[in-house]
Amino acid sequence: MRILVTGGAGFIGSHYVRTLLGGGCAEHAEVSVTVLDKLTYSGNRANLVPVAGHPGLTFVEGDICDADLVGDLLPGHDAVVHFAAESHVDRSILGATPFVTTNVLGTQVLLDAALRAKVDRFLHVSTDEVYGSIDTGSWTESTPLAPRSPYSASKAGSDLLALAYHRTHGLDVTVTRCSNNYGPYQFPEKVIPLFITNLLDGKQVPLYGDGGNIRDWLHVADHCAGIQLALTKGRGGEVYHIGGGTELTNRELTGMLLEACGAGWEMVRPVADRLGHDRRYSVSIDKISTELGYAPSVSLRAGLDETVAWYRDRRDWWQPLAERAALVR
């Protein structure tokens, strides 16, 4: 099987590629992977070093918005797994144009090319943020979309485009929507690696508002396992939620990270809440569990301990990225 993975040098995409080529997917023992990545600030060739010498890996530096490149690249591939996206909410608030361009236009370019190339499967990776915020209960895959940030609005648009290509053109499209990911190789602007790297450097961590915003945390390995199930067993035209089953307030998460890093609450700096900060996310995973047999396997405590240990040992990986991106630390 030949798979095109967009954004395959990013955090989640590279984990998926490393899993595929590292023998983590038995049903794809003979898989070959083409990674298409623009290598923006969060894309990193170093994320693929563990499989860089694999004969089944081809790397192409390029933009999913480049219709000529994508059109030339896609023929001969059996499937597309589409991770490539601008994904940081704070950056989308500062400027929405790159998010709309990459997430909406880039997805449309890929869908058109996949249709022309008669690709068998197109898996579009999305987010629970497209639903907005929920006070109680959990979203199902039929919940209406109600995005509340430029980032989530752009992802909602790309979701609807992908599903429209299934309904209009018969393209075999499946959409996954995940909860908040964490794990090794995550770019250090996201909350968990930002907090870990700050604490490792003896710096305070910023906690938004009252710290009461609630998220469901999903280890990247569980996310990629769910993606593989959706790719190989999911039904075309369907949406599947992939969650970790562990909801925490940001304050609770901060406490766990402080403990894991051997720090106290004096290392926390309260900051003004983010504009339009959604209060709570919660996805039901009943559908993917019942239909495809998905279940998260990495406990939050074990996953956080492993992630802290990885960042402690891999300063060579994260420190240059933090400096290059000029992160507010």
Contact at 8 Å (CB) between 218 and 181?
yes
Q: Which residue has the higher pLDDT, 66 or 323?
A: 66
Average pLDDT over residues 204-222: 96
Looking at the structure, tell me whether residues 42 and 10 fall in a common domain.
Answer: yes
Looking at the structure, tell me whether residues 200 and 176 fall in a common domain.
Answer: no
pLDDT, position 327: 47
**13 lies in a domain?**
yes
Looking at the structure, tell me whether residues 25 and 88 fall in a common domain.
Answer: yes
**286 lies in a domain?**
no
Looking at the structure, tell me whether residues 40 and 78 fall in a common domain.
Answer: yes
**293 lies in a domain?**
no
pLDDT, position 131: 97
Share of the chain above pLDDT 70, in %: 96
Q: What is the pLDDT of residues 56-83, one digit of tens each?
A: 999 999 999 999 999 999 999 999 999 9
The overall longest dimension of the chain from CA atoms, in Å, is 57
Please give the residue range of the domain that contains residue 109: 2-181+219-242
Distance CA 134, CA 122 (A): 29
Looking at every residue in the chain, the average pLDDT score rounds to: 94
**284 lies in a domain?**
no
Looking at the structure, tell me whether residues 15 and 63 fall in a common domain.
Answer: yes
pTM: 0.94
What's the CATH code of the domain at 261?
Answer: 3.90.25.10
Q: What is the pLDDT of residues 145-189, one digit of tens each?
A: 999 988 999 999 999 999 999 999 999 999 999 999 999 999 998
For the cut 90, the answer to whether the pLDDT of residue 87 exceeds it is no
Looking at the structure, tell me whether residues 10 and 132 fall in a common domain.
Answer: yes
pLDDT, position 326: 57
pLDDT, position 271: 93
71, amino acid identity:
G
Q: What is the pLDDT of residues 267-319, one digit of tens each?
A: 999 999 888 788 999 999 999 999 999 999 999 999 999 999 999 999 999 99
How far lies 52's CA from each of 48, 138, 154, 226, 240, in Å? 6, 40, 32, 24, 31
**156 lies in a domain?**
yes
Looking at the structure, tell me whether residues 118 and 31 fall in a common domain.
Answer: yes
What's the CATH code of the domain at 96?
Answer: 3.40.50.720
Positions marked active-site: 128-129, 151
Looking at the structure, tell me whether residues 232 and 266 fall in a common domain.
Answer: no
For the cut 80, the answer to whether the pLDDT of residue 90 exceeds it is no
Number of domains the chain is built from: 2
Average pLDDT over residues 235-262: 97
Distance CA 151, CA 85 (A): 9
pLDDT, position 41: 79
For the cut 60, the answer to whether the pLDDT of residue 130 exceeds it is yes
Looking at the structure, tell me whether residues 104 and 200 fall in a common domain.
Answer: no
**87 lies in a domain?**
yes
Q: What is the pLDDT of residues 116-128, one digit of tens each?
A: 999 999 999 999 9
Q: Give burial (CB, 10 Å; 0-12/13-18/19+) of 93.
A: middle
CA angle 19, 53, 314 (to 5 degrees): 65
* Three-class HEC string of the chain: CEEEEECCCCHHHHHHHHHHHCCCCHHHCCCEEEEEECCCCCCCHHHHHHHCCCCCEEEEECCCCCHHHHHHHCCCCCEEEECCCCCCHHHHHHCCHHHHHHHHHHHHHHHHHHHHCCCCEEEEEEEHHHHCCCCCCCECCCCCCCCCCHHHHHHHHHHHHHHHHHHHHCCCEEEEEECEEECCCCCCCCHHHHHHHHHHCCCCEEEECCCCCEEEEEEHHHHHHHHHHHHHHCCCCCEEEECCCCEEEHHHHHHHHHHHHCCCHHHEEEECCCCCCCCECCECCHHHHHHHCCCCCCCHHHHHHHHHHHHHHCHHHHHHHHHHHCCCC
Looking at the structure, tell me whether residues 231 and 106 fall in a common domain.
Answer: yes
**290 lies in a domain?**
no
pLDDT, position 274: 80
Report residue 119 as tokens: 């690709």
Distance CA 26, CA 174 (A): 21
Looking at the structure, tell me whether residues 143 and 191 fall in a common domain.
Answer: no
Report residue 300 as tokens: 């939050």
Looking at the structure, tell me whether residues 12 and 94 fall in a common domain.
Answer: yes
Distance CA 239, CA 159 (A): 9
For the cut 90, the answer to whether the pLDDT of residue 30 exceeds it is no
**50 lies in a domain?**
yes
